[in-house]
Structure 1
């Protein structure tokens, strides 16, 4: 029998105007949020990520950085070594945060 350690991350995301609430992500889980960026290009969403004894604040969407990088696919992946953001122009994953 093989035992795998369950990786659970408590994710709480919000902007200045919207609170998207808590979500709990397990290994391999996928979640989705929808929002519209404001016309001024100042939309910014940040998340507090908690697992085990680690708490990390992550800017998950910043219109100034991300508007040109994720045209239709604003994907993010949490891995054991950090948070990765999909760059649609390059078709690649960029590590933005380390744990």
Structure 2
């Protein structure tokens, strides 16, 4: 009986550590919060397309759908979350504007935990989505848009 109890304990522990979802907070009341002892990360997406062009985005993770948002030229959209205990947190966004579109991982724990511990900045420009390391003014990731067929 004791061995079965130990196996169940380890199974529950493994699920808790590796399968726990990222905890998200946002200005939206439906977002969950938790894992208060883990550092909070903010993802910021800036629209620098210029010419008054709007950027449409739809961001989500396995557990949280942040919805569709229109970011006006010069504006931004951001959200906060805590990486899950297994460090498998992933947020991706679909992007769309008049001359391009695409889907890109804006936060991936295996890539971004050290790259942008507290803040991940992305800037949408006409040539693509630029990612910046925390505290850097130079982009280190460029995702080029897929061009719209006209």
> Structure 1, unaligned stretches of length 5 or more?
none
The answer to whether the Cα contact below 8 Å between 1:82 and 1:95 also exists between their aligned partners in 2 is no
Deviates more, 1:53-62 or 1:35-44: 53-62
Output one character per residue of 1:2-46: Cα deviation in whole Å (capped at 9) or x when no partner.
Answer: xx8321111000000000011101111022111111110100011
Output one character per residue of 1:63-84: Cα deviation in whole Å (capped at 9) or x when no partner.
Answer: 0000010022211111111111
Which position in structure 1 is the counterpart of 2:19?
none
Q: Compute the TM-score of the two structures, normalised by the length of structure 1.
A: 0.86
- The SS at the match of 1:64 is helix
Higher relative contact order (CA 8 A, sep 6+): 2
Which one has a larger percent helix, Structure 1 or Structure 2?
Answer: 2
* 1:97 Cα offset (Å): 0.1
Larger radius of gyration: 2
1:11 has 2:60 as partner: no
In 1, the alpha carbon distance for the partners of 2:131 and 2:111 equals 11
In 2, the alpha carbon distance for the partners of 1:46 and 1:65 equals 13
Which position in structure 1 is the counterpart of 2:113?
67
> Structure 2, unaligned stretches of length 5 or more?
1-49, 146-150
Q: Where does structure 1 differ by over 6 angstroms across 4 or more consecutive aligned residues?
A: none
Which one has a larger percent strand, Structure 1 or Structure 2?
Answer: 1
Q: Compute the TM-score of the two structures, normalised by the length of structure 2.
A: 0.58
Residues matched between the structures, number: 95
* Aligned alpha-carbon RMSD (Å): 1.7
